[in-house]
Structure 1
Amino acid sequence: MAITSANQLELLQTAEAVAREKMIDPGLVVEAMEESLSRAAKSRYGAEMDIRVKIDRKTGRATFSRVRTVVEDDLLENYQSEFTVKQAKQYMADPKVGDEFVEEVPPVDMGRIAAQSAKQVILQKVREAERDRQYEEFKDRAGTIINGQVKREEYGNVIVDVGRGEAILRRNEKIGRESYRPNDRIRCYIKDVRREARGPQIFLSRTDPQFMAELFKMEVPEIYDGIIEIKAVARDPGSRAKIAVISYDSSIDPVGACVGMRGSRVQAVVNELQGEKIDIIPWNEDIPTFLVNALQPAEVTKVVLDEDAERIEVVVPNEQLSLAIGRRGQNVRLASQLTGLDIDILTEEEESKRRQKEFEERTQLFMDTLDLDEFFAQLLVSEGFTNLEEVAYVDLEELLVIDGVDSDTAAELQTRAKEQLEEIARKALERARELGVEDSLVEFEGLTPQMLEALAEDGVKTLEDFATCADWELAGGWTTQGGQRHKDDGLLEKFDVSLEEAQNMVMTARVLLGWVDPTELEPKTNEADHDDAEDGEEA
């Protein structure tokens, strides 16, 4: 079939029909046709020729052209599509490197093979354009809710028709054991949109916490308007969920607004989530107060927050323990997700036993080290003293407030405490030297004999060994693996060495060894300010 014998407008009509069907730009279809005709022409004239086809967007006339580019003599490689400046002078008035010489060539006869090849090129281009259009349409819709129609189910995964494409709801993203049949209507959360080789992939979810947040946004106008904000969401899909909300208008109750008249708003969300029970909790910037709210309906009597470890300790009445933990730990797990903290729950009885144990241990410490009777040692512990350092170096006035303690007794207590600390330090230094600690580490400022002993027991015996330590190896820290936080014990952690102190000590050791230039650690002054200062002096 010769291209000239075909109805010239038929190309444009075909392009428009395909574009309407696939909902893409007709220009892209025409470009695909031009490329397919170009390939067919190359099979006729020769693959090394640069044959280009241009289809007139108004008349549909296809123009076939051969293009040759002017190149430098030593860069000439393809004699069919390139020529030198000297050769180009036969065709062009003033040729320069980079100029193109275009001459029209006769249209080709489209044989059966060439026509089939052209068809494949057009189909491929149309598919690529359709994929690009689909990706561009859905990429900005990630994080929103979409309504679709179930097409089929494959190995537990649901394929959903979302209008201009298909999306997948994986089986682990479905709520509980819910199942769908073809043509069922379904509402999902667009979790992710990815561009892949086989086309854009749209991943849906019904278990994502943000799905519930978006449902509330649809049901509660105050959330949509920004008057109420959802600060945190935690879900056990299909079973229970907690959502923390805050109102920026003092006249609007955030919890009441989300519940709605007779629970109409929250019930609409519950119905969509297959009966999932939802606790709506007022947000509070004070973490302990927020946690007390998050553990509802359980009552909390005491909260102890450890911000460094990102852990929180909660004390509840004995009869409230099972309610606070929840079925299979559900309540405390959701509260932990909501606050972002690890939560330890103790009963009042357990906390009392632990406090009593600590009291007895500290009492025994003072009895053994300060040669005190039990009653006097208990007095010290009751006043808040926990170790020998506090007794040895506290102001005398704080010891004098204890019943039965005069200035002589207070001075004697401090003398005994200091002597005991000195003895402990002497024994620790002897032990460290027995383990092989060198003088370079002993003389390093900032390390106590007890610290030297602890380092030596772990094989750190020289200044070089110490300088190779990481700060977290000394001070300890926390790492997260597989979503779980793990404690890393530090060699000097029990001596309350902070991460910053550990960094400074390690860097000082490296400077002393000449591993680090101390000038590199000094903050650099602004050169512009320095120049301005010099100019001022000259003036």
Structure 2
Amino acid sequence: MAITSANQLELLQTAEAVAREKMIEPELVIEAMEDSLARAAKSRYGAEMDIRVKIDRKTGNATFTRARTVVTDEELENYQSQFTPDQAKTYFEPSRDGRGTWWRDGTRLDDFSGAPQPGDVFEEVVPPVDLGRIAAQSAKQVILQRVREAERDRQYEEFKDRAGTIINGIVKREEYGNIIVDVGRGEAILRRNEKIGRESYRPNDRIRTYIKDVRRETRGPQIFLSRTDPQFMAELFKMEVPEIYDGIIDIKAVARDPGSRAKIAVISYDSSIDPVGACVGMRGSRVQAVVGELQGEKIDIIPWNEDQATFLVNALQPAEVSKVVFDEEAGKIEVVVPDEQLSLAIGRRGQNVRLASQLTGLDIDILTEEEESKRRQAEFNARTQLFMEALDLDEFFAQLLVAEGFTDLEEVAYVEQDELLSIDGVDEDTARELQARARDVLEARAKAALDNARELGAEDSLIEFEGLTPQMVEALAKDGVKTLEDFATCADWELAGGWTTVNGQRVKDEGLLEPFEVSLEEAQTMVMTARVMLGWVDPTELDGGDDPDADAEADGAEGGTDEEAGA
């Protein structure tokens, strides 16, 4: 195929036709043509030559040129596309038989008063090539490849900022349970695990989905859709409730069991507007529109509250809650409900409590009033027995101490005496005797723990470390921590305990000193103090709070490592 004037006249028309069909810029198609013609010409003139093609944007005429770049003597590698400044002097003139043009920094050179400089480019017109069948086919492949790349880039740029929004499409086909959806200027995929369970689609069905992710991959941009994502429901409410779209009402959290039930927490920034009522709409019109799109999924609309306990009570609706006990350190919460409300609070197959847990981000334990009463009674009896045995008290007096809020011997031994005197029937002599007995018991226990720790091999460096009680030293020695060096290598969460997420479930990591109620911050301080004492850490580096070891300790505070968590 020769590049004739007739062929050249068709180039612009072809570029425009392809650009319209693929919805890309005509300039990209012309550049692809230039590149393809240049590659084809190289196969005829020589692969080492730098052949360039320029297509006139008005006439469609293709000009073939050979480019040679000026380089230093040391950089000269390719004699076909490079030459030295001395070699270039021969060509350094305004025109060489009317075919040569000099360029410097992308600008045509008109001043030839100096000498050629490295980086200057000399372009020399060469005759158009006569493309053979193979060369023409190769040029066609280059054009198609460049057009495909441009089409993919256009598609990615169009959809990358639409992630997190709802889109309407038409079902094209089903592949292995996955739905391929036509979304206008491209195709997207709705995986089978992102479909609501009982949904089925046929070709040409209209479908509304949520753009979950847009990725640039080797085979082109991949658009992943979802109908099960919690944010799909949030976006549907935004479309149905003008107050949400305007920002008057905000969706704070969403939890879904797709196709079955969902909970959504909302808050109003205008005291005159009820967030729940606005989302429900007149006679339930707004919420029913969302329910219809989600194939009958039941939706509980819950008022959000900054107080976690209050929010949880709302989240467990329609069940009634008697009491909430919150454990901040463990991130868990205990909910006490009337006996007849237990099944309602838990829900079918645990659905209600599971959704409430997702909504609040808390681990929830549900107890009946009877179960909580039995547990409180068991704790009361255990503390009573402790005081009876340790302080040699009768049952009535021991129960009196527990009823007044005393939980262990340390409180009795070191509390202000006035607090003991406030108990009915306790005078100064009785108070002094109680405290003396408690201190004797504690001292005896400390001595026994210390002796046992020494037998286990605990060294004085650990025993004398400030902040560790004899019982703590004993617990450490039982686990093989016997020296100050051993202690300094411990992570803070190994001492204070923490939580690790394994397969989506929070698992408790027991700390060596957790029974002694050592907090994470206290563990961090003790470990860092030990490292300073051993000379491992310069104390001046700690003033700025930028110690990397401390940061590493804090990172592990939530529990074990990623490997331990099975991440």
State the TM-score bracket (shorter-chain normalisation).
over 0.9
Other-structure match for 1:195: 216
1:528 equivalent in structure 2 = none
**Aligned to 2:489, which of 442, 451, 468?**
468
- Deviation, structure 1 residue 75: 1.6
Task: Give the alignment's Cα RMSD to 1 decimal.
Answer: 1.1
Deviation at 1:309, TM superposition (A): 0.8
Correspondence for 2:432 among 396, 406, 411: 411
Q: Taking structure 1 as the reference length, what is the TM-score of the superposition?
A: 0.96
Q: Deviations over 1:382-423 (max 9, x none)?
A: 000000000011111111111110111111111111111101
The structural deviation recorded for 1:522 is 2.5
Secondary structure of 2:499's partner?
strand
Aligned residue number for residue 356 of structure 1:
377
Return the alpha-carbon distance in structure 2 between the equivalents of residues 362 and 162 of structure 1.
67
Query: Counterpart in 2 of 1:74?
Result: 74
Question: Which letter does structure 2 place at the counterpart of 1:141?
Answer: R
**Does residue 378 of structure 2 align to residue 347 of structure 1?**
no
1:33-432 maps to which residues of 2 (within 5 A)? Answer: 33-93=33-93, 94-432=115-453
- Which secondary structure state, in structure 2, belongs to the residue aligned with residue 331 of structure 1? helix
Letter in 1 for 2:137: Q
**Amino acid aligned to 2:158:** E
How big is the shift at 1:119? 0.6
The 1-side partners of 2:527 and 2:181 are apart by: 58
- C-alpha separation between the residues in 1 aligned to 2:538 and 2:89? 66
Q: Which residue identity is paired with 1:106?
A: P
Deviation per CA, 1:27-48, whole angstroms, max 9, x where unpaired? 0000000000001110110010
In 1, the alpha carbon distance for the partners of 2:182 and 2:31 equals 29
**CA deviation profile, 1:271-303 (whole Å, cap 9, x unmatched):** 000000000000000000000000000000000
Among candidates 449, 470, 488, match of residue 470 of structure 2? 449
In structure 2, relative to structure 1, the CA distance for the partners of 1:277 and 1:524 (3 Å cut) is: closer
What is the CA-CA distance between 1:7 and the residue it aligns to? Answer: 4.1
Cα distance between partner residues in 2 of 1:86 and 1:78: 16
2:207 partner SS: strand
- 2:562 matched to which residue of 1? none
Aligned residue in 2 for 1:6: 6
Q: Which residue of 1 aligns with 2:102?
A: none
| Amino acid aligned to 2:199 | E
Pairwise CA distance, 1:9: 2.6
Q: 1:78 is paired with a residue of what secondary structure? A: coil
Q: Which residue matches 2:552?
A: none
1:524 CA displacement? 8.7
- Deviates further, 267-276 or 97-106: 97-106
**Matched residues in 1 for 2:34 and 2:5: separation?**
17
Q: Do structure 1's residue 458 and structure 2's residue 479 form an aligned pair?
A: yes
Aligned-partner residue type, residue 25 of structure 1: E
- Give the match's secondary structure for 1:138: helix
- SS at structure 2 position matched to 1:75: coil
Aligned-partner Cα distance in 1 for 2:254–2:543: 45
Match for residue 492 of structure 1?
513
Specify the SS of the correspondent of 2:251. strand
Question: 2: CA distance between counterparts of 1:510 and 1:289?
Answer: 44
| Cα shift readout 1:475-526 (whole Å, capped 9, x = no counterpart) | 111122222111111101111111111111111111111211222223399x
Q: List per-residue Cα deviations over 1:293-331 (Å, max 9, x = no partner).
A: 000000000000111111000000000000000000000
Q: Which amino acid aligns with 2:263?
A: K
Q: CA separation in 2, counterparts of 1:71 and 1:21?
A: 43
1:323-363 per-position Cα deviation (integer Å, ceiling 9, x unaligned): 00000000000000000000000000000000000000000
* Matches of 1:447 and 1:281, distance apart in 2: 48
Q: Which amino acid aligns with 2:282?
A: M
**Cα separation, 2, equivalents of 1:81 and 1:451:** 79
Contact 2:5–2:61 under 8 Å retained in 1: no
Moved more, 327-336 or 391-400: 391-400
Give the gaps of 5 or more residues in structure 1. 526-539
- Alignment match of 2:540 (pick from 519, 531, 536): 519
- 1:144 deviation in Å? 0.2
Which of 501, 508, 514 in structure 1 is aligned with 2:522?
Answer: 501
SS of corresponding position for 1:281:
strand
Asked if structure 1 preserves the Cα contact closer than 8 Å seen for 2:230 and 2:254, the reply is yes
Q: Deviations over 1:71-129 (max 9, x none)?
A: 11122111100011111111115211111111111111121111111110000000000
Q: Counterpart in 2 of 1:536?
A: none
